[in-house]
Amino acid sequence: MQENQEVSHYQRIGGEAKVRELVRRFYELMDALPEAYGIRKLHAADLQSANDKLFMFLSGWLGGPQLFVEAFGHPMLRRRHLPFAIGDVERDQWMLCMNQALDEVVEDAALRAALSEAFSKVADHMRNRAN
């Protein structure tokens, strides 16, 4: 590896296995936490499809293989989420699950903080209604 080459978040988190673990834990929390009920009810009863798609998206978003783009094209996140009413409450519930998953899965504190900040920006962008 060249000295000037940056290490991606995908590499820093631990690659495919750790991204899968993060996504798995995120959806476990969404399914289990009563305080995440609002965001959980926006999903299908079976979370496997959502789990697969989030894993594929995060793989590329974190700097790894562009699995989502290869399978579905450009993510167009906001457009894909427009059918769902997402306000501050839903954003906060999503972030609650993601931050807890990050705390449990990602060992590097600096990486956890950077990812939480990045996820927060994306979650803010997904809002499409006022609460």
For domain 9-126, give the CATH superfamily: Globins (1.10.490.10)
Q: Which long-range contacts (CB under 8 A, 24 or more apart) does 58-65 make?
A: 58/19, 58/22, 58/23, 59/10, 59/16, 59/19, 62/8, 62/9, 62/10, 62/13, 62/19, 63/8, 63/9, 63/10, 63/11, 64/8, 64/10, 64/11, 64/15, 64/16, 64/19
How many Cα atoms within 13 Å fall on the side-chain side of residue 3?
Answer: 0
Q: Find, among 17, 15, 16, 43, the residue nearest to 29 by Cα.
A: 43
Please give the Cα distance from 96 to 57 (Å, whole number).
19
Give pLDDT tens digits for 1-44: 455 578 999 999 999 999 999 999 999 999 999 999 999 999 99
Give pLDDT tens digits for 70-118: 999 888 888 888 888 899 999 999 999 999 999 999 999 999 999 999 9
For the entire predicted model, the pTM comes to 0.91
More confident residue, 130 or 117: 117
